[in-house]
Amino acid sequence: MIILGATPIGNLGDASARLREALEQARVVASEDTRVTQRLLAGLGIANRPRLIALHEHNERQKADELVELARDADLLVLTDAGMPTVSDPGFPLVQAAIAAGVDVTAIPGPSAVLTALALSGLPTDRFAFEGFLPRKSGERGRRLAELAGDRRTLVFFEAPTRLATSLAALAEAFGPDRPAAVCRELTKLHEEVRRGPLGELVAWAEAGVRGEICIVVGGAAAEASDPVDALARVQSLAASGTRLKDAAALVAAETGLGRRELYEAALAARRA
């Protein structure tokens, strides 16, 4: 099978017992950077020296079929430089190819910069979305942020330190300078820091220069006051198109923040009338 192994995002002490065992037993490892994997083996005191195959963004689609065939005969451990493979890191084409070929895929859970930043941000965690890196070009970045401006979920982004101030300024322009946010840097490392505040204030802070691995967490858009009449019309429209009335009421309730039961009963009353 193929085993996706989550590696430490900074602190080697976060390597799980399962990851250590997998590294000790692995015959073949596909890794984002074989030099990083060699340092991981040495840092964890792993004596095993498996065959290392480079699997990165520039070759992963070409290598996928070959690695799937290798995994038919022996477990293939897949590692990225930090965190879980496939999450803004190489591995997704390989997983797709394995599923298509009927080869089992499993994971060794572990450190995640996305979840660590989310937990430390102080922002709502019940609904969130990971958006990876924002586009570098200003036009593409603006269009992406315009699409996200009304999203009520907490949003998590990765960013390079050299582009942090630019991205925060773009976020403040698209979402408003008062939108709450947090910049999390060097997570689990010696100089870990979480800076919380409105986007406008974070822009001013970042312009002085920030170093390290960066996650940006931004609070979701505030719910707008919804017109119950418009919401009822939306329920009726969904029901007329074939959606069950209860499902239509639940969907519109999630969209508007209005009560599901109230919407359902209002729609029933309108039917009877």
pLDDT score, position 224: 67
- The whole-number pLDDT of residue 21 equals 98
Residue 242 has a pLDDT of: 86
Q: What percent of the chain has pLDDT over 90?
A: 84
pLDDT in tens, 141-188: 999 999 999 899 999 999 999 999 999 999 999 999 999 999 999 999
CATH code of 113-218, in short, is: 3.30.950.10
Instruction: Give residue for tokens 């939306």.
Output: 234
> What pLDDT is attached to residue 230?
86
Choosing among 3.40.1010.10, 3.40.50.300, 3.40.50.620, 3.40.630.10, the CATH entry for 2-108 is 3.40.1010.10
Residue 82 has pLDDT above 70, yes or no: yes
Q: How far apart are CA 184 and CA 2, in angstroms?
A: 32
Dihedral, CA of residue 244, residue 249, residue 251 and residue 255, to nearest 10: 160
Distance CA(149)–CA(142), nearest Å, equals 10
User: What are the tens digits of pLDDT across the range 210-259?
Assistant: 999 999 999 999 876 678 888 899 899 888 888 899 988 988 887 777 88
Query: Where in the chain are the domains?
Result: 2-108, 113-218, 228-272
